[in-house]
Every structure is written in C-alpha cells, then in structure tokens.
A and B are shown apart, each in its own frame.
Chain A
Amino acid sequence: MAAVAVTSAPLDLQALIDEVGGTSTADGAVASFIGLVREQNQGRRVSFLEYEAYEPLAVRALQLITEEARASWADTRIAVHHRIGRLELGEASIIIVAASPHRAHAFAACRYTIERVKQIVPIWKHEHFEGGDVWLEGATANPDDEAAREAARRIACA
C-alpha cells in the first residue's frame, strides 16, 4: 500500500512504519497516532461506525497534508492510512506514522496530520448508536483556509 491510502481493509501499523523507511539508522524517532472507534460519543452508546469517503479527493487531500507537514518539518517522512466502511468498537479508523532524526519533528508532524485530516479530508462518520444513527459533521473543508492551517500548526507545536 502507498504512503497515503483510503481503504476498507483493516489497518496495519507495521505496514506504515515500513512505508516511512522502517527504523532507518538516520532516524532518531518514529511517532505514531492510531484513531480508534470509541464506545461513547456525546452521551450515546455507540454500536459501530460506518465511514464514507469521496475517495479520489480524500487521497489528494491526504497527499496535500503530508506535503504541508514536510514543508514545516523537512527531515520527516509521513504515512497515513484511513479506513472506510463498517468499523466495530476498538478498531483503528486511522493510523499516522512519522519518522524523523528528531522526536520533536516526528511528534509534531503526526499531530499536525491528524488535525488537518479533521479539517479538510472528505471522509464522514455515520454513527450507529443504541436508539438511532446520525451523520457526524465537523469542519467545512477548505484547504486554502490559512487560519485553519495555522491553528493545526499551533496545536502541533504546543
């Protein structure tokens, strides 16, 4: 699988680590973020989630995000895979891996990537809970919104 992917297959952390070059001797750190399906959301008992994507644009948006991250942390290599379809409680919906000579860059690139995913990647959660279902809606996606990009950078460097 490529460094950036949207897939209905279960996600594999090791595959992402391999994508960023494994544990190269030039690297001092590999940071990872794994997003999981949680059993509670806004007071509701979640049964399962269904993720839907506009796949070609989602892949482009993920590529844009990794390019943005590399512009800020040039020595960092990033892989990000997002799962779609039906996910059960406890399953991984997204994995991000960043490798760098410096741990601060690896952590920052990871955090920046997840914040930007939530801002601009056309993927949606359909939450099925005890008693109903609801489409979750977060940010209006706008990759040109400088304020949103700066907010993600601030969080990443906090």
Chain B
Amino acid sequence: MRVTVRLFARLRDLAGAGELVRVVETPATVETVWRSLVDEMPGLREYERIMSVAVNADYAKMSAKVADGDEVAFLPPVSGG
C-alpha cells in the first residue's frame, strides 16, 4: 500500500524533501514507515527518540496502524511561539 510521508523543519532538510510517497507491506504501523525511511536515510535516525508522529494530521504513537492512502508525519521537537 502507499502512504504519504510528511517531514518538517530539520527533518525535511536532512531528507531533502518535505513530502514523499512510500510503498509498505500490509499490515503496517507508523514504525514500519519510519524503518523504511531510516533504512534509506540513516541520518534521520537521530530523531527517533525525540520526534513526535502524526497520522492524518492527528498526533499518534509509533505503534499506530497505517492504512492505504494515509498521511504519516514525523515532527522534530517544536519551537513555536
């Protein structure tokens, strides 16, 4: 199945793109999607313990299930205000 991956701020800079399409095997979780990204771009790994994740623009856990067509976002620590 296909998922859209969104990356922001320094994660986006490290990956060189803010939006990617990934094909992953079913059943998949956010963690499955992250693993496939990190396999390809090991430089992202430093964010594993400090990032937040979202599915379809709602905060989620790494263990959350992902369905075909979902948007999965990986978010560095925030710095708004």
Which A residues lie at the B interface, using CB under 8 A? 35, 51-54, 56-58, 60, 82, 93-94, 114, 117-126, 135-144
Contact = CB atoms under 8 A, between A and B. Distances in A.
Q: By DSSP majority rule, is chain A's interface helix, strand, loop, or mixed?
A: mixed
A15 B35 CA distance: 45
B78 A123 contact: yes
A108 to B, nearest CB: 17
B39 interface: no
Given A117-B80, A123-B79, A124-B9, 18 more contacts: A54-B8, A57-B59, A60-B58, A82-B81, A93-B81, A94-B80, A122-B78, A123-B81, A125-B79, A135-B79, A136-B79, A138-B78, A140-B50, A140-B52, A141-B59, A141-B75, A141-B78, A142-B52
Nearest to A94: B81
Chain B, interface size category, equals: 20 to 34
B78 A124 contact: yes
A118 B81 CA distance: 6
B59 to A, nearest CB: 6
Contacts of A117: 80-81
